Chains A and B, each alone.
Chain A
């Protein structure tokens, strides 16, 4: 008697339906911006809408073709966020140019970067048919991560913007390699830890209730982490430093199943934060601005303005195009969450946070159901770093924690961020497709009653 194997449903129809909804959120947001700012629906709404639908359908078809078992919720969630982000950046272009017509507009370039991001997403799904192939490139990705992190420090191409040397400017393009380094590091950690996890967990000495691994097992990974954090301290990018450290600790914890790593990580973080506060004036400034922003209204103008915007939005928001988010410096990038809160209100911001939360939890669910250790680690690392990034940036903007510079995934203006986040979703979908796909039919020797071997006692 055979029990039919459980075959996960593809749910591509559900994905399509949700995608259509998500696309319409973007189109309606764009139309609402036109209504709010200029009193008319922008003339090119139908063009944009057409383009968005085209892209969404194309994306959907690619997923249907190359990753038919992939998680059906992630893509619509991401499209909704990206559409809202585009509409808000367009709205802020209009608002900022009302103040000063010479200000740069970002909506078009953001649209182009979104397209690039979707191409990267599709490329990952098409080119990487099995995520485990990335495992063979573990050390390549490790080296790439370090190379990417060093890039901004190189004279000639490195650029310091707002005190952080995290930009690379090359042939007219500028981008933040840190975003890409994050993905490379996650792949490197996953690949390395898969191989060494048993050694890390079992071989070694027990000190103060924590199993310390052997130096040769921990060496490479600790070295990689030290280099990346060292570079970040040199680059004065607190947010990424925190993010990478969190990624490292959590992946170590998942790989070894030793909660001690979390404790060690927490202690190290506390120590680092203390020394950062003592040694760096810019860390102190951020910290003081968090505790008492109104103590120095001139210096803390950005966080204060962000809070004013959130308060002005209140529960229901001012409505797209009807608030004044452009008054906040970097309202279109670092502070786009505050801009959303002002115009969409508490209600809208809660919905956005819910979407972010769903993306993170879907990613962790993929990790949970994944059958191979590498995929598990990679998915868990990517999902957790996504959640941590959202927490650090939105928590900073809403004064839950001190403000550090990180991009708001899929919404903030910035090419490298959009492209790499799409790439992350591509990787997650790839792992998820692998996970939910029914195991290939093993050449079943048809069990035949007559030829069955019967053990005779």
Chain B
């Protein structure tokens, strides 16, 4: 009977070798992908009880982990709560992560590959692993000023402010209102977290939506900057002194529709200069230009400024659009699109990129919010480098556009943004949506003071201010001005 017993012994050996190979496969080969699976509570627990890295703005924490006495050992805190919530996002046991907490999670949690050596050292010295820190590009004064400006319009004001450095693309301010308190989601009292989450998601004002990057709305007259750029780039207009057709209405032969100006004005004549058309935000003139440029070239110009893409580094951004996909515009629709209506929809950050591209002599820089990533020992792991997204317009055309924006501030609709001794260019917008909703007030501007530059886009969706008073220049202009002053140190 010995031969069968030997064979059985070999069979048993095969069984055990199979078991051993399999546990090697699961615990070594598959481990990373299993750890990354959704709903893996072990990994969530571990990250939640780790000394997570800090998110810094100008050296001060806007998200930090402090020791707590419960089983999770650390509590995530947001000292500036609502002000930086659109950037930091949240870090919740129950609901996961959002914002920078999510996009920079590997660094903050310490699991980034660049922190591997740290992890080994911590393992050997039996210390709790620590996460790296993330320094944002935000200018704290500009951020605060922008938020104060929106708040000054009264409670219930919905709006957003995005400011970027035209030369680098660094985001200097990113304010969205109403905002929320991420501390309430990071709490270890999970029942309270659940309730806060329910309240926030049920709120029709959507406080957890970052309005600077995630909400696209008709940009209205501020889009005339894109139309103007397309007109210059495509030779429809050569100089800012060239005459363009104006008048009180734009007719579309064969269609019953006519495009009027705001308040029924005639823009100052049947023919006015290109510059004046922008100064007074003449719908008839820009509608007519859009028809001359054509849908394809206007769409291409918008794309050069970043429409249709998500160029933002470090946070997610909804692409802005010129038309919905594959739409073939009829002339009245094209005319409306030329003044930022119909299907045109943009995020405030996208409109800031338009102003920044013009201010930076036509070069649109890739926007980013993370400046420096550091290891727990403060060694720099990564520092963002400015990167050009595209050349939206030639530098000579950019200068023409700058001149037109400057004169709009000096004599046009945007006088509210004047800063003594500083070169300021701007464009207002008042976009219509439906009759029962108040229009959106837009203000897109840039300022240069020596080497310092800033581009700002302000959106005010609604406020307690009466409907007839709403106009980009009056509501949003002063906010843009104060943010530019804050950045330039005026």
Asked if A pairs with B, the answer is yes
Q: Which residues does A use to contact B, with CB under 8 Å?
A: 98, 250, 253-255, 257, 259, 294, 297, 304, 307-315, 323-324, 327, 341-342, 345-346, 349-350, 353-354, 356-357, 360-361, 364-365, 367-368, 373, 376-377, 380, 383-384, 387-388, 390-391, 394-395, 398-400
Contact among A255, A361, A383 with B13 in the assembled complex (CB-CB below 8 Å)? A361
Find out whether the CB atom of B27 lies under 8 angstroms from the CB atom of A380: no
- B14-22, B222-230, B241-249, B333-341 - the one binding chain A: B14-22
For A255, give the chain B residue with the smallest CB separation: B1
On whether A398 and B40 interact (CB within 8 A), knowing A257-B1, A346-B28, A377-B1, the answer reads no
Of all A-B residue pairs in the complex, the 9 with the closest CB atoms, nearest first, are A311-B34, A357-B16, A346-B27, A311-B31, A400-B22, A387-B12, A391-B15, A254-B4, A312-B42
How many angstroms between the C-alpha atoms of A216 and B255 in the bound complex?
A: 101
Q: Is B59 an interface residue (CB 8 A)?
A: no
Find out whether the CB atom of B40 lies under 8 angstroms from the CB atom of A308: yes
Chain B window 256-273, contacts with chain A (Cβ cutoff 8 Å), 1 for yes, 0 for no: 000000000000000000
For B1, list chain A residues within 8 Å (CB): 254-255, 257, 373, 376-377, 380
Contact among B2, B23, B26, B35 with A353 in the assembled complex (CB-CB below 8 Å)? B23
For A259, list chain B residues within 8 Å (CB): 4, 7
Give chain B nearest CB distance to A364 CB in angstroms. Answer: 4
On whether A349 and B12 interact (CB within 8 A), knowing A254-B1, A294-B37, A327-B42, the answer reads no
- Sample of 13 more A-B contacts, CB < 8 Å, known A354-B20, A357-B12: A257-B1, A297-B39, A308-B40, A311-B27, A327-B42, A342-B42, A350-B24, A357-B13, A364-B12, A380-B5, A387-B16, A388-B15, A399-B22
For A306, give the chain B residue with the smallest CB separation: B26
For B40, list chain A residues within 8 Å (CB): 308, 312
For A367, list chain B residues within 8 Å (CB): 5
For B35, list chain A residues within 8 Å (CB): 308, 311-312
How many angstroms between the C-alpha atoms of A314 and B22 in the bound complex?
A: 13
On whether A350 and B42 interact (CB within 8 A), knowing A315-B27, A367-B5, the answer reads no
Q: Which residues does B use to contact A, with CB under 8 Å?
A: 1-9, 12-13, 15-16, 18-20, 22-24, 26-28, 30-32, 34-35, 37, 39-43, 45-46, 71
Give chain A nearest CB distance to B294 CB in angstroms. Answer: 51
Give chain A nearest CB distance to B69 CB in angstroms. Answer: 14
For A380, list chain B residues within 8 Å (CB): 1, 4-5, 8
How many angstroms between the C-alpha atoms of A380 and B3 in the bound complex?
A: 12
Q: Which of A311, A341, A354, A387 has the most CB of B within 10 A?
A: A311
Find out whether the CB atom of A311 lies under 8 angstroms from the CB atom of B41: no
Contact among A253, A361, A388, A394 with B9 in the assembled complex (CB-CB below 8 Å)? A361
For B45, list chain A residues within 8 Å (CB): 324
For B27, list chain A residues within 8 Å (CB): 310-311, 313-315, 341, 345-346, 349
Find out whether the CB atom of B15 lies under 8 angstroms from the CB atom of A387: yes
How many angstroms between the C-alpha atoms of A307 and B31 in the bound complex?
A: 9
Give chain A nearest CB distance to B5 CB in angstroms. Answer: 5
For B42, list chain A residues within 8 Å (CB): 308-309, 312, 323-324, 327, 342
For B19, list chain A residues within 8 Å (CB): 353, 390-391, 394-395, 398, 400
How many angstroms between the C-alpha atoms of A453 and B16 in the bound complex?
A: 58
On whether A350 and B20 interact (CB within 8 A), knowing A254-B8, A341-B27, the answer reads yes
For A342, give the chain B residue with the smallest CB separation: B42
For B12, give the chain A residue with the smallest CB separation: A387
For B9, give the chain A residue with the smallest CB separation: A364
On whether A307 and B16 interact (CB within 8 A), knowing A380-B8, A384-B8, the answer reads no
Give chain A nearest CB distance to B129 CB in angstroms. Answer: 13
How many angstroms between the C-alpha atoms of A365 and B12 in the bound complex?
A: 12
For B39, give the chain A residue with the smallest CB separation: A297
- 6 contacts across the A-B interface (CB closer than 8 A): A259-B7, A308-B37, A310-B23, A327-B41, A349-B27, A398-B23
For A350, give the chain B residue with the smallest CB separation: B20
Find out whether the CB atom of A368 lies under 8 angstroms from the CB atom of B24: no
For A388, list chain B residues within 8 Å (CB): 15
For A384, list chain B residues within 8 Å (CB): 8, 12
Contact among A294, A315, A387, A398 with B28 in the assembled complex (CB-CB below 8 Å)? A315
For B43, list chain A residues within 8 Å (CB): 308, 312
For B12, list chain A residues within 8 Å (CB): 357, 360-361, 364, 383-384, 387
Q: Which of A357, A373, A376 has the most CB of B within 10 A?
A: A357
Find out whether the CB atom of A364 lies under 8 angstroms from the CB atom of B5: yes
How many angstroms between the C-alpha atoms of A398 and B26 in the bound complex?
A: 7
For B34, list chain A residues within 8 Å (CB): 307-308, 310-311
For A324, list chain B residues within 8 Å (CB): 41-42, 45
For B20, list chain A residues within 8 Å (CB): 350, 353-354
For B26, list chain A residues within 8 Å (CB): 307, 310-311, 341, 398-399
For A312, list chain B residues within 8 Å (CB): 31, 35, 40, 42-43, 46
How many angstroms between the C-alpha atoms of A350 and B27 in the bound complex?
A: 11
How many angstroms between the C-alpha atoms of A311 and B43 in the bound complex?
A: 10
Give chain A nearest CB distance to B452 CB in angstroms. Answer: 50
Give chain B nearest CB distance to A311 CB in angstroms. Answer: 4
For A250, give the chain B residue with the smallest CB separation: B8
For A254, list chain B residues within 8 Å (CB): 1, 4-5, 8
Find out whether the CB atom of B4 lies under 8 angstroms from the CB atom of A257: yes
Give chain B nearest CB distance to A103 CB in angstroms. Answer: 16
Give chain A nearest CB distance to B24 CB in angstroms. Answer: 6
Find out whether the CB atom of B37 lies under 8 angstroms from the CB atom of A364: no
Give chain A nearest CB distance to B33 CB in angstroms. Answer: 8
For A315, list chain B residues within 8 Å (CB): 27-28
Find out whether the CB atom of A311 lies under 8 angstroms from the CB atom of B30: yes
How many angstroms between the C-alpha atoms of A353 and B20 in the bound complex?
A: 7
Give chain B nearest CB distance to A418 CB in angstroms. Answer: 21
How many angstroms between the C-alpha atoms of A244 and B42 in the bound complex?
A: 37
For B22, list chain A residues within 8 Å (CB): 395, 398-400
For A314, give the chain B residue with the smallest CB separation: B31
For A313, give the chain B residue with the smallest CB separation: B27
For A384, give the chain B residue with the smallest CB separation: B8
Give chain B nearest CB distance to A394 CB in angstroms. Answer: 6
Give chain A nearest CB distance to B180 CB in angstroms. Answer: 30
For A297, give the chain B residue with the smallest CB separation: B39
For A253, list chain B residues within 8 Å (CB): 4, 8
For B4, list chain A residues within 8 Å (CB): 253-254, 257, 259, 380
How many angstroms between the C-alpha atoms of A380 and B43 in the bound complex?
A: 44
Find out whether the CB atom of B24 lies under 8 angstroms from the CB atom of A346: yes
Give chain B nearest CB distance to A293 CB in angstroms. Answer: 10
Find out whether the CB atom of A395 lies under 8 angstroms from the CB atom of B16: no
Find out whether the CB atom of A395 lies under 8 angstroms from the CB atom of B18: yes
Contact among A294, A353, A364 with B8 in the assembled complex (CB-CB below 8 Å)? A364
For B5, list chain A residues within 8 Å (CB): 254, 364, 367-368, 376, 380
How many angstroms between the C-alpha atoms of A327 and B3 in the bound complex?
A: 46
For A314, list chain B residues within 8 Å (CB): 27-28, 31
For B6, give the chain A residue with the smallest CB separation: A368
Give chain A nearest CB distance to B40 CB in angstroms. Answer: 5
